[in-house]
Each structure stands twice: as structure tokens, then as C-alpha cells.
Structure 1
Amino acid sequence: MNIVFIVLGVLFFLIILSGFVTVKQGYVAIITVFGKYRRVIEPGLSFRIPFIETVYKRISIQNRSVEIEFQAVTQDQANVYFKAMMLYAVINQSESTIKNVAFKFVDESSFMQALIRTIEGTIRSFVATKKQAEILSLRTEIIEEVKMHLDATLEEWGYHMIDIQLNDIMFDEEIIKSMAKVVASNNLKAAAENEGQALLITKTKAAEAEGNAIKISAIAEKEAAIQRGQGIALFREEVAKGMAQAAREMSEAQLDSSYLMFSLWTESIKHFAEHGKGNVIFLDGSTDGMHKTLNQMMAVSKLQETK
């Protein structure tokens, strides 16, 4: 009899012991009663009614990621190959959210299949409206399109999308080569245009500099001519004054003014001889020629005196 009680006691202890459930941090457990949802067990040690309450599923509330690779076709029939990574998690630990996560899909593989196909379908629909030349510049727009269509769907399933990245966008080899040729030709065209602009600017600046130099030279030459003319005029004026003064002094001294003219004549000949540098100067050295020259110089002197 004692053995029976001992056996019953051991069985009762084992039954009670089997009712304890441990849930790891980062998870919650779904409890059902005869297949019907009953409650959610938080992380830690909990108790369930043995044989009545059953742990239906343990759900991770941590961040999860999925990588996908797929192909899309552009509007101009170019194949585009995408590699994407999505980061997602359970929205929160509320009872309604946990129930959606636990019972919306039969199993985890069904959920993953629906998630991947939804992302692929959204991107393919977007890419089908664009040309292959636009795709590489529309990375941000593609991500925004996926978020816009996927956020509401994921919320119905009890999840939310944290981030999605398009890690790689590739084309067929022939398209890549043709795109490289287009880029190279555009670079050559831009380089030629830049070189032409630089040459035009160089020639324009050179022409402006030459024009400014000619203008400055002309102004300087004009100023020099004016200065030379003024110098010659002043020289002649001073010579005339000196000759008039000398003529008056000789007249007051009762000397013949032709002596002054003869002196200037001889000084001029002396100057020609000293500074002529081999040049040939023809002068009328006859008596009549000298007399004629002296008369002309005396006439100039008298004209200055009248002034």
C-alpha cells in the first residue's frame, strides 16, 4: 500500500513538474487549450496546466533579416538582377500582435515565401515602368516603393519593416558593355567640349590682352608725340627768343646782326660734322648760297622781333 502511495506521489510530482515552462529572453510562447488560443507566456519560468494547456509555438521578438535574389524586366526589355536585404521584427508584444504572428501562417516557411514574393512583385512592377538607363539612379525610389506597399501588409501579419537595402543591381553582360561605351563616349564628348571652351577662353583672353597692349601702346605713342611736339615747339620758341635777344643786344652795340647769323651757320656746320655719324648732308657753301641763307635767317629773326 505504501508503495502505491509512493508511486502516485512520484507521478503527481512529475505531472506538476511537467507544467513548468521556460521561455528564453527574446521569445514569447503561445499557450492553447485543446487547440484554442489561451494566453501568452513572457520570458522566464511560467506554469501551465499539464495535459490541458499546451505550448503551441515560441515566437522570436528579436530583429530578423532575410536576403533575396531575383530578376526583373525593364520597360525596354532589359534583364535586371537584384540582391536585397530586409530587416524586420514583430511590431510589439501585445496580445493581438502575437496572435497575428502565431496564426496568420501555417508555418515560418509559408510566411517567408509570402514576404519574399511580395517584395519581388513590388520591385518588378516598379521596374517594368522604367527604362534600363534609369534603374541605377532610382535605387532610393525603388526602396520607397517597397516600403509604401509592404508596410501595411506586414502590419496585418504582425510585423514591421525596419529597413531594406538593395545591395546589388546588375544587368546582362551585353548591356553593361553598352552602358560602359555610352559613358565613355559621353566622357569624351564632355572632354572635347571642355577643351574647346578652354581654347576659346585662352584665345579670347589673348586677343583681349593683345588689344589692350595695342591700345596702351597707341595711347603711349600719342602722348609721346604730343610731348615731342610740345618739346620742339618750346625749343623753337626759346631759340627764337634767344636769337631776338641776341639781335637786340648786337643792335644796341651797333654791330651787324649778320654776324650772329654767320656764327649760327658755322655752329650748325660744326654740329653736323661732330654728330653726323657718316651721313651725307648737302649744303650750298657758295657765296651766293651763304648770303641767301643768312638773309632767310635774318628775316626769321625780324619776324620774331615783331612778335
Structure 2
Amino acid sequence: MLFSGFDIIIPVLVVLVLLLLFAGIKTVPQGFNYTVERFGRYTRTLTPGLNLIVPFIDRVGAKMNMMEQVLDVPTQEVITRDNAIVAVDGVAFYQVLTAAEAAYQVSGLENAILNLTMTNIRSVMGSMDLDELLSNRDAINEKLLRIVDDAASPWGIKMTRVEIKDINPPANLVESMARQMMAERNKRAQILEAEGLKQAEILEAEGRKEAAFRDAEARERAAEAEARATQVVSEAIAAGDVQAVNYFVAQKYTEALATIGSSSNNKIVLMPFEASSLIGSLGGIGSIAREVFGEGNASSATSQRVSSARPPRTGPSQE
């Protein structure tokens, strides 16, 4: 069976059309952008989905990942401002915003970001003391992020986060820091203990002051009462009332006898005194009582007091 020229051309044209379709249709996956180059020059960017280009004239240049990516920063030694050597590593997160700039503004995007981050880590952390370095990690991360993001913005990327993972001082330095921390804590404990003793002594002194003030006030009140009583007696004497004098003397006399008799140190008390004086004083008390309570009740009460106060007789009785 012989084929004519038309029968041969038809399959060839079909194959060419299929090749053109495959060459001109480009499918971009989600999360990626493709750059299109025409004769080696950037023309446009293909977004995710189905895209058409001019076959054999346009071609796909760079396939850029537009998702956020993580870049591990290797461990490096940093010399701080106080000449301490620490080993530092970190991690950086970035995202491509403009595929054309990331593809054509820098060669080796990941390597450029890595070296930029490492350089700024040494610069930022080298300008700080060791204590400041260990206690201000958030401030270091924020400063690194701002510096690296400003430097990488012409490349069409956005630095979303720069984090310092580990800061490892030498072992001897860690030991010295531990001793320093222990000494500082002991110092704080001693200061707190001294402050507590100081406050306790102050409160105790204030308590003694308040007690002394209260005692003085009580003595003042008692003195005022004694002075008032003396004034009343003096006024009674001035008015010619001798019985008031007798009552006052008898009261003080009996109070002194009661105090001596209630003493726990002596079982027998020998006191020379004149009984007639006490009896006379008690007689004055009886006269006052008669004036106040009446003749009958006062005489019985006075007789009882005199009989109880009269000392017992000794020796043979006289006929």
C-alpha cells in the first residue's frame, strides 16, 4: 500500500502541534513562581496554575519557592566586648516576595542570606558584654531581624524571623559565673537578714518607747489622783474637819500593815508600834462612819474594828 505525500504531512503536522502545545503550556504548582525569559531576558513571572508562553522563543528561567523557608545558621565563635569567647548558632526564616528580584538581583540566594546573618550575628553580639548577651536574647533577635531584613530587602525577600538558638560560653567561664552568682546570692541574703534585724530592733525600740510613754502616763495619772486626794484632805483640814485627817492617816497605816503582812519572805513580823495611835485612828474612822451611815451601825462596826485591832493581853490578870 502506497502512502501519498498528504498522508505523510498530516501525522507530521499533528506531532508538531502536540510539541507546540507541550512547549507553550506551563503548569506552575502552588507555592512557586516561574520567571519567563525571552532570548535570555526576563519578561514576566508565571503564577500558580496553567500558563501559556511562546514556544521555542520563551523559556522558563528560575523556579522560585514562594513559601516561607528556614535556614540553619551553623555554630560560630563570637568575641564579646569584654573579650569573652562564646559559641553561637541560630536559625533564620525568610520568604521570597518578588521572584524576579530574588532570581536576578543576587547569585546564590540561600548562601547570601546565610553569610549576611552570620556576619551580623558577630557584629551585634560582639558589641555587647557577656552578661548583657546572656540576659537580652530577645533584644538581640529583634536587632538582628531588623538589620538583616533591611540588607536583604533589595533581593525581593522578607526576613520573618532571626533566632539565636544556643549561646555556649567556655566551661571555665561558666564555672566562674556560677561562683559569682553564688556570691551575689549570699550577699543578698546577708543584706536581707541585716535589714530584718534592723527592722526588728526598730520595732522593739518603738515598743519600749511606747511602753515607757504608757508607764509615764499611768504614773502621771496616779500622781494626779494622789494630788487630788491630798487636796481634798487639805481642804477638809482647812475647814476644821479633824476626822478627815484621822481617816487619811488610818488608811495609810492599815495599807502599810497589810503590805507587810502579805509578804512571802517572812513568816513572823515583829514590829514595835503604839497601839493607842492605831486605835485612835480607827476611832476617827468610826466617827466618820457614824456621820455617814448612822449612829447604830457605825458604833457596832467601829467596836468590831477596835476589838480586832487591840493586841492580846499577856501575863497574869489583876483582880
In the TM superposition, 1:174-189 aligns within 5 A as: 174-189=172-187
Matching of residue 81 in structure 1 with residue 81 in structure 2: no
Contact 1:69 1:81 in 2 (8 A): no
Give the Cα–Cα distance (whole angstroms) in 1 for the partners of residues 170 and 41 of structure 2.
52
Deviates further, 235-244 or 56-65: 235-244
Cα separation, 2, equivalents of 1:234 and 1:199: 52
Other-structure match for 2:54: 49
In the alignment, structure 1 residue 60 sits paired with structure 2 residue 61: no
Deviations 1:112-148 (A, max 9, x none): 1221111111121232233222211332443344234
CA 279–156 in structure 1, closer or farther in 2 if over 3 Å, else same: same
Deviation at 1:99, TM superposition (A): 2.2
2:162 equivalent to 1:164: yes
Is this contact kept in 1: 2:33–2:46, CA < 8 A?
yes
1:225 alignment counterpart: 223
Q: How far is the alpha carbon of 1:238 from its aligned partner?
A: 3.7
CA positional deviation for 1:208: 0.9
Deviation at 1:89?
1.4
Where in structure 2 are the equivalents of 1:190-209 lying within 5 Å? Answer: 190-209=188-207
Secondary structure of the structure 1 residue equivalent to 2:136: helix
- TM-score, scaled relative to structure 2: 0.71
Query: What does residue 311 of structure 2 align with?
Result: none
TM-superposed CA distance for 1:244, in Å, is: 5.1
* Greater length-normalized contact order (CA 8 Å, ≥ 6 residues apart): 1
RMSD, aligned α-carbons: 3.3
CA displacement at 1:279 relative to structure 2: 5.8
* Offset, 1:3: 4.1
| 1:37 maps to 2:42 | yes
How far apart are 1:61 and its partner, in Å? 1.9
1:100: which partner in 2?
Answer: 101
Q: After the TM superposition, which segments of 4 or more aligned residues of structure 1 sit over 3 Å from their partners?
A: 235-246, 274-279
Task: Give aligned-pair identity as a percent.
Answer: 25
- Aligned twin of 1:7: 11
CA displacement at 1:227 relative to structure 2: 0.8
**Alpha carbons of 1:157 and 1:245: their partners in 2 closer, same or farther (altered >3 Å)?**
closer
Q: CA deviation at 1:87?
A: 2.1
Report which stretch shifted further, 204-213 or 155-164. 155-164
Is structure 2 residue 286 aligned with structure 1 residue 280? no
| Structure 2 residue identity aligned to 1:225 | A
Give the partner amino acid of 1:76.
D
Of 204, 209, 213, which residue of structure 2 is paired with 1:215? Answer: 213
1:136 aligns with 2:134: yes
TM-score (norm 1): 0.73
Aligned to 1:251: none
Q: How far 1:56 sits from its partner (Å)?
A: 1.5
Structure 1 stretches of 5 or more lacking a match? 92-96, 247-260, 298-307
Superposed CA deviations along residues 239-273 of structure 1, whole A, max 9, x for unmatched, are: 67574589xxxxxxxxxxxxxx9xx9xx99x979x
Aligned length: 261
Contact 1:70 1:120 in 2 (8 A): no
Q: Deviations over 1:61-88 (max 9, x none)?
A: 2222222133211133322222322222
Q: 1:271 to 1:47 in 2, by over 3 A?
A: closer
Amino acid of the structure 2 residue aligned with 1:164: V
